[in-house]
Structure 1
């Protein structure tokens, strides 16, 4: 659920950032709390391992996200989350370099000299596969939490997506095509990121579907656009694989 401080604002994320920059410290704290899954995902991608909230790397990411709130300028064209991702990852990389930890290794890597494991290469192989699957599952969960927070900016919930998602292959492909047209047109892309809605009239000129169809699949198209435009590697793989 969106925190109470954020709920009272009927603004985009970028609008909220501007309010926070004007001295609303409570809103700053609400934003940081709400986007912890996003921060965790960015930090974990740099470290190539699980990073929990009590670890130094996560604290560095939180501070970097706080800095991003105050450094962001929408005039430069990028969305706040795109900008924040760059800031968080750079700060964590700088931290790891400073601590001589560029080559952060996974738990199994740190224990690869363990006699019991090294004497059994099959066990090592299976253990690595299990660890990789667990890590992938955790990162997917972080992406879903991150997407859920971003969808709220577009007034979309996961619950309604399960109901409005097109049932037919052609409809899903048409929605994917429409989302990619938005992504590839800088003017339309900027419009969606700022207004949080579809430019129906302009999009009609680029896609071979009716206005009624666009209206019906509006939220589904927006969701695909958000995933393709954002930092959603696993979810992007999934939607592009759905036929």
Structure 2
């Protein structure tokens, strides 16, 4: 899709700019240390423009994924903007401690903080899901397939996660999965007490868990209860 946008496909270009707004907001928020409202904050506009620059200048030959490259471009542009206008210090956020006497209504402040945190979390989760779906596609998987293939029993789920952790921790196996985009069934059987049939049946879930373990998926790890 990036190549199509670079070649002048306006529909694809617009789709990328709209679909990745949660990602842009997250990157911008990480710099500003506060929730970024796409409709109100100037920093988001800077992040959006930076994302557009990333689309047009990205090359797979640089050795990094597009999202990693875009994240770097966005953060640099937003930092430059903040320094230029000399606005709110980067370290400022709603997480700062305030003395009770400085608050007109401590309960109201607490409620605002909670709303802020929930909104920020929602942006982060949406961003992670975009990245996760993209990673799944490289393994010829989808969220629909994953939902159908996920183990129904706790023991089976726990075993599948254990297998994924072994793949993640063993350099040779990890390299195999990342290159081949499939499970090294023969090698795995020598390291886990799981039948070939079970490994094949839970293949999609194991690969999806492996993707989460190898990526920056804080909230997905929490949701799927995948240990770091």
The TM-score bracket by the shorter chain reads: 0.7 to 0.9
Say whether the 8 Å CA contact 1:68–1:83 is kept in structure 2: yes
Mark the CA change 1:211 to 1:96 in structure 2 (over 3 Å): closer, same or farther.
farther
**Which structure 1 residue ranges, 5 or more long, are not aligned?**
1-5, 7-16
Shift of residue 166 of structure 1?
0.8
Tell me, in whole angstroms, the C-alpha distance in 2 between the residues paired with 1:173 and 1:74: 38
Is 1:46 aligned with 2:31? yes
* TM-score between the two structures when normalised by the length of structure 2: 0.72
Is 1:167 aligned with 2:152? yes
Paired residue total: 220
SS at match of 2:120: helix
Aligned to 2:75: 89
* TM-score between the two structures when normalised by the length of structure 1: 0.69
RMSD: 3.6
**Which structure 2 residue ranges, 5 or more long, are not aligned?**
none
| CA offset digits 1:22-44 (Å, max 9, x no partner) | x6343973655554433332222
Mark the CA change 1:161 to 1:188 in structure 2 (over 3 Å): closer, same or farther.
same
Say whether the 8 Å CA contact 2:24–2:47 is kept in structure 1: yes
Deviating 4+ runs (over 6 angstroms): none
Shift of residue 176 of structure 1?
1.5
Shift of residue 68 of structure 1?
4.7
| CA offset digits 1:183-222 (Å, max 9, x no partner) | 2344443443444333333444443322222211111112
Aligned to 2:217: 232
Is 1:37 aligned with 2:22? yes
Tell me, in whole angstroms, the C-alpha distance in 2 between the residues paired with 1:186 and 1:20: 35
SS at match of 2:151: coil
